[in-house]
Amino acid sequence: MLPAPGRDPGGRGRRPPRTHQRGTPRRPVRPSVRRPVPHRPGGRPVRAVLAPSPQHGRDVPGPSTPHLTGGPVLTGFWHVVSFLGSAAFYVPLLVVLFWCAAPRLVARATVILLFSAFLNTLLKLVFHDPRPYWTDPTVDGKASHTSFGMPSGHAQNAPVAWGFFAAQTRRWVLWAAAAAVIALIGVSRVYLGVHSIGQVLAGWAIGLALLVAALGLEPVVVPWWTRRHLAVQVTFALVVSLLLLAAAWGALQPIENWRWPDAWARAVQAAGGQTEPVTLVESARATGGFCGALAGLSLLAARGWFDAGGKLWQRLARLPVGIAGGVAVSLLDGSHLAQAFAVQVMLGLWVTAGAPEAFVRLRLAGRPAPAITRPGDDRTELRQ
């Protein structure tokens, strides 16, 4: 009986060893190459969330960043949406509304938004995560940024700003509109390649938590603040701002001597920007503006606020007066830490106290009619 094909004559079922046939090319054996692992500025490796790309071998921070592409019209649309979440949009809008429409409401929103802006600069120093287009060449950076990416400042400030004004009404249409704008702002940052999905989600979560905390604490903090003497209010505003700046200094220490990796620098330059050293200047500007706004609003309340109403020509005439003063102060700005802090303090004081006082003296605005109080009533309640 002949043995079965593929078996040895002993019938033990073992296959004969494979041998290389002449004339057939051998499959080359690839040597094991260890891919370089990207590192954060603090020296810690970037944790791989996805498998590294075989082509580039680099990790994208946070959950996957979709490689979204589109024509110039679509890109222009997302740039406009992204602008709705930037300081270049919020600051002029809030200033005009403060001077010409609703100063008390805008004052509340401004304080919360300024604190959110500082918190974002602090957290970016703490996490120091790169932006997607810095580390992944397949992500097209359609905007240039030199600050770190975690969390997204646009995504964080959107719930604070748009959510605050939506919270002042019970109309579901305005709530839905605010939610749509907040969502679109976050999507725009992913489309433009400047944030990963994880960075946007973190920004939304932090902004929403900050808004809820601010609205919950406001009925307690505002009455406590208005019962303090003006000198105490101004001192407290300065001390709190300096403590916040000290916290940013502490977050900067682990990455104080950090240098831009060549690949990251080339990505920033390809997007149209220039790399800059990581400093505390932006934190100083944020804390300085926060200090100036708090002190200025306290001074304005002590003087009885101002009436933002009046004729249309009066409201429009306030703008060149206020803008002229703001431009004059801005000319003193610089890159030195103390200079940046001081200039923003003066800007905050001018916008919230100096300009309204100028409006009153130029008869472009008036003082609110004082309320009548009974003997023994606390007049500080009028300054809320």
Is residue 256 in a domain?
yes
Q: Using CA atoms, how far apart are residues 158 and 207, in angstroms rounded to an integer?
A: 7
Which tokens sit at 297?
Answer: 């609003």
Is residue 271 in a domain?
yes
User: What are the mean pLDDT values of the chain's consecutive 10-residue runs (384 residues total)?
Assistant: 49 52 53 50 44 35 51 88 92 95 94 95 92 85 85 95 92 93 95 92 96 94 93 96 95 86 84 83 94 96 90 94 95 90 96 95 84 43 40
Is residue 11 in a domain?
no
Q: What is the pLDDT of residue 378?
A: 46
Which tokens sit at 240?
Answer: 């709190």
Query: Taking the CA of residue 55 as centre, how many other CA atoms within 13 Å lie in the half-sphere pointing to its CB?
Result: 4
Of the candidates 257, 252, 260, 303, the one whose C-alpha atom is nearest the C-alpha of residue 281 is 252
Q: Using CA atoms, how far apart are residues 70 and 333, in angstroms rounded to an integer?
A: 39
Q: What is the pLDDT of residue 384?
A: 40
Which tokens sit at 264?
Answer: 């990251």
Residue 247, domain extent:
72-367+379-383
Q: What is the pLDDT of residue 143?
A: 83
What global pTM score does this model have? Answer: 0.77
Is residue 207 in a domain?
yes
Q: What is the pLDDT of residue 374?
A: 41
Q: What is the pLDDT of residue 375?
A: 41
Is residue 52 in a domain?
no
Is residue 374 in a domain?
no
Is residue 321 in a domain?
yes
Q: Contact, 148 vs 258, CB < 8 A?
A: no
Which CA distances in Å does 174 have to 23, 27, 102, 178, 205? 76, 65, 18, 6, 21
* Sequential DSSP letters for 1-12: -PPPTTS-TT--
Let me know how long the chain is: 384
Per the structure, the count of domains in the chain is 1
Is residue 41 in a domain?
no
Q: Contact, 297 vs 114, CB < 8 A?
A: no
